[in-house]
Amino acid sequence: MTTFATKTRLLLTGIAGLLVSSQVALAQDCTPKHTFATIEEGTLTVAVTTYVPHSYLDDSGNMKGIDGDIAAEFAKRECLKVKAVAVDPAAAIQYVLSGQADIATGDWYRTAERAKVMNLSAPLYTDQMAIYSKNGFADVGDLEDKQVGTVQGYLWVTDLKTMLGSKLRLYPNSVNMQQDLFSGRIDVAVDGYSTGVVAEKNGAFKDVKVKVAASDDRVRATKEAAQAAFPYSFNAKELGVALDAGIEAMHADGTIVGILKSYGLDGTAAETGAPRLVQ
């Protein structure tokens, strides 16, 4: 005789079977747009830095942010699962170079120096160097004789080191730097413009003002808006072809504009122009 408990187990087993079948069917129905290898078959492994609004993990460990959403959409169109690995900005590039991640997220600029050691995808959007201060500084000259913080690995670090010497303090991420700025341990912070604008709009910066740095020959990053990209290995050429095609398609169909706007940024940041490397 079949008991109620047995019937319940059979019913639940049947439902689970339907769910599994449905997932398999969805996977079978998905046709990738390109053929390329990833570190883990069927999975896009992403080194995710914490750099809001570009890159972060939510409380459930899901990849988020502008870069994260673009990478997730790319994975979806190529029928890949996403494996997100949380890393500090200083370690993200090494994760890609050492074969632990396929790409990295975090507003990575297309620079000539970075292009010497790895490939960079087609441009995602543009970003500019910004000065964060309570005084509303906009000129690089205003940083002289101040205690200044920035995140290690960024485009402008070398030039600022030359200019400021021991007065420049390097941080592993923006969160730690901002905490020191708010507490007064540093006078000024230098970071990307977009992340500051979003924080300002959300009321997170209180009396700190964010200004695009005025052009100054001493800091090359002030001369031209940088293009953000996904860094990937020299050995992953087929992945690069797929990334470039996917990014081009997302520019064309408005996906990237939509993602930028969803994080409170102006959609014009998607107007990257032709790919270029900041020298």
Which distant-in-sequence residues (6+ apart) come within 8 Å of 20 by Cβ? none
Dihedral Cα 124, 129, 131, 136, nearest 10 deg: -80
* Most trustworthy range by pLDDT among 155-159, 220-224, 258-262: 258-262
pLDDT, residue 29, reads 82
CB 89 within 8 A of CB 173: yes
pLDDT exceeding 90 applies to what percent of the chain? Answer: 72
- Predicted TM-score (pTM) of the model is 0.76
Range of lowest pLDDT (109-118, 199-208, 265-274): 199-208
Q: Is the pLDDT reported for residue 173 higher than 70?
A: yes
pLDDT, residue 265, reads 86
pLDDT, residue 264, reads 85
Q: What is the pLDDT of residues 202-250, one digit of tens each?
A: 888 888 999 989 999 999 889 888 899 999 999 999 999 999 999 999 9
- Mean of the pLDDT values across residues 44-53? 95
* Burial per residue of 118-147, b for 16 or more beta-carbon CB atoms within 10 angstroms, e otherwise: bbbbbbbbbbebbbbbeeebbebebbeebb
pLDDT, residue 155, reads 82
Helix (H) or strand (E) holding 158: helix 157-164
